[in-house]
A and B are shown apart, each in its own frame.
Chain A
Amino acid sequence: MTESPKAAMADPAEIERALARVKAARQAIVSELRKVIVGQDDPIDQVLVAMFAGGHCMIQGPPGTAKTLLATCVAQVMDLSFKRIQFTPDLMPSDISGTEILEEDQTTGRRMLRFAKGPVFSNIVMADEINRTPPKTQAALLEVMQERQVTLGGRTYPLPEPFYVIATQISLEQEGTYPLPEAQQDRFMLTISMNYLPERSEAQVVRRSTGAEAVELQKVIGATDLLAFAQAVRQVTLPPALSRYVVDLVASSRPTVPGCPDFVKEYVAWGAGLRASQNIALAAKSAAAQDGRSTVEPQHIRKAIVPVMRHRIGLSFRAEVDHVSVEDVIRRLTQACPEPPSH
């Protein structure tokens, strides 16, 4: 048997140059986005961490916290096609992926089936209020997210590259929601939390949004750059001490694993799986690349932990009674699992 050749090890100078481009692109994107988006530095950071690594993200937060604005601005600055889908209780899978329509040929008068592409054929798909739609339609979106192609009538239509889903959820307490099953949430790399701004920033937003001046956003990078960045991110090294730390931390969130902390047994119904460790590692690499570093440092891991783990831990009934949030649990996990000393 011939083994297929291992991906060629890029030479260090080339990696350095690629990372320098990633860092420059990040700075340019952030300064463009700040022209329009006020005081949401962490969400901007996290969206870029996910996109530079080729991952999908979920944005949570009350209405009017610039969730759609963030997604549209990112699309503009990166010169990507953008479609927003409002998820409703009557949305069908074909409303997302596309459908075959009967079309008449003008010249011959013959009718035939033609595939009309759905809104998912776009670089960025904003899936708004994804939990308002029934499970089969949710599953249709998650399937294309995973496979990056639509199969219909025996034919396969590839999605454009890169392809990102940015989904939002309405709060679960509301009526008529279909909560996304845990296994499907797991397919999102990060959950980004957007909150109301401090008053000073809110005043700035109001001043800007009611003013006459329209801000024009510059295109800073393009689709091919993002594909190259995703490659560069994967060239970043994760030191063994840090990968061991990531695995220890994630494993300590699993109540069935012997030796997990007592508060986990008490408050956690199910812990974070293998995809949590993978995505913390990848998010940390993406953050390091955006710093222009070829090696992950503890602060890159630290920033990745909460957004990656937030949607991967299920709380017990007891946690609800004691008003313990997922963020509380994650904070206690990081306290219980010591970070390796940085060198």
Chain B
Amino acid sequence: MATEATAAPVHANLLATLCEGRERILREIRKVIIGQDAVVNDVVAAFFAGGHCLITGVPGLAKTLLISSLGRAMDLTFRRVQFTPDLMPADITGTEVLEEDRATGSRKLVFRPGPIFTNILLADEINRTPPKTQAALLEAMQEHQVTVSGTTYPLKEPFFVLATQNPIEQEGTYPLPEIQQDRFMFSLLIDYLPKAQEIEVIDATTSAAGAQPDVCMTGGELIEYQRLIRRLPVAEPVIAYAVSLAARSRPTEAGAPDFIRDYVSWGASIRASHYLVLGAKARAALAGRPHVSVQDVGSVAYPVLRHRIITNFRAESEGISSEEIIKRLLQAVSPPKSGL
């Protein structure tokens, strides 16, 4: 009978290789990306957890380079789609074309896969495209498959979407509805680099071409690690903490703090507690720890809750952001006393 005692050493070995794999990937990414440590860490965590990321930030901060380097380091296919107001669902998912069979001469419809048939998809400026096209992407993201004329085509595995939103020039954009944002595991903010690092970047990018990331992990290994992360045990009090963080953010919930009632119109969904736990598992596993702690949950609170807590008009008029709400929420919800 498999007991904790026999299962543990296997875990420990696998976790050690996972932790080392993460170090190797970060080392490869560091060859081309300067700074942005927090964003790089969070993207890698989401990647290993099998969740998708939404990144908000001004252009030119190496988002494409980050995600394409990650693809290169893991030998995965990468595609970028610029979202525009006239992009159609078929431009993402693919379309059927009439093709002639060379041998028989008969014609038939052949499915031409769209750019979504890739391991890593960068959906650039997703809020520039109308809702129907956004929905096509989100549906495929959710289902890991595309259905055209009754036939279902599975997407590649692993499949990871990094969508970007440009916070400036909001004219003529279609903000992603809350329910669609909910499908992203993490929402990350990317900001300008500190000046010292910006100087480093301009020196590095205007000199002779430097090193390129080398392949250091395969897609198959990544899928193994994704499974490993899900197998990591989590103690009941840690799950209870994640659930109460999400539940207490809902203004309709009985135990909601006053500031939630005052400033929040929509609280975090059940997906929030799901991703708080999954994100915490990824954090612990990537650090080589077999135990998921309350701190691991807290460390993913901002990226998980940021796009799931929708502030109301009063919050806006008083300049209270969802960041501020999360900060107060973390103070208001006390972690379990067991010290996990």
Contact = CB atoms under 8 A, between A and B. Distances in A.
A270 B57 CA distance: 12
A179 B306 CA distance: 32
Interface residues of A, number: 54
Nearest to A276: B60
Interface string A263-307: 000000110011111100110010000000000000000000000
Contacts, number: 123
B99 interface: yes
A113 B125 CA distance: 33
B89 to A, nearest CB: 13
Nearest to B61: A274
B198 interface: yes
Nearest to A10: B208
Say what secondary structure dominates the interface of chain B. Answer: loop
Contact of A182 (B61, B87, B166, B203): B166
B140 interface: no
B58 to A, nearest CB: 5
Interface string A127-143: 00000001110110011
Contact of B24 (A1, A138, A147): A1
A7 B94 CA distance: 41
B331 interface: no
Contacts of A248: 195
Contacts of A6: 210-211
A93 to B, nearest CB: 9
Interface string B65-108: 00000000000000010101111000100000001101001000
A247 B210 contact: no
Interface stretch (A190-198, A238-246, A321-329): A238-246
A136 B87 contact: yes
A240 B199 CA distance: 8
A195 to B, nearest CB: 27
A3 interface: yes
Contacts of B209: 7, 234
Contacts of A251: 192, 195, 198
B328 interface: no
Nearest to A254: B192
Contacts of A4: 211-212, 214
B334 interface: no
Interface residues of B, number: 44
A34 B274 CA distance: 68
Given A273-B58, A273-B59, A182 B169 contact: yes
A167 to B, nearest CB: 16
Contacts of A2: 214
Contact of B100 (A102, A142, A247, A282): A102
B27 interface: yes
B196 to A, nearest CB: 9
B130 to A, nearest CB: 11
B202 interface: yes
Contact of B208 (A112, A153, A235): A235
B202 A278 contact: yes
A244 B206 contact: no
Contacts of A254: 192
A138 B84 contact: yes
B193 interface: yes
A282 B205 CA distance: 9
B102 to A, nearest CB: 6
Given A243-B199, A257-B192, A285 B206 contact: yes
A231 interface: yes
Contacts of A285: 206
Contacts of B62: 274
Interface of A: 1-7, 10, 102, 110-113, 134-136, 138-139, 142-143, 147, 153-154, 181-184, 186, 231, 234-235, 238, 240, 243-244, 246-248, 250-251, 254, 257, 269-270, 273-278, 281-282, 285, 314
Closest 4 CB pairs of A and B: A135-B84, A273-B60, A183-B59, A275-B60
Given A244-B195, A275-B60, 11 more contacts: A7-B210, A135-B86, A136-B86, A182-B168, A183-B125, A235-B207, A247-B199, A251-B198, A273-B59, A277-B202, A282-B206
24 contacts: A3-B211, A6-B210, A7-B210, A111-B100, A134-B85, A135-B87, A142-B82, A154-B113, A182-B168, A235-B208, A238-B203, A247-B199, A251-B198, A273-B58, A274-B192, A274-B201, A275-B59, A275-B60, A278-B201, A278-B205, A278-B206, A281-B202, A282-B205, A314-B168
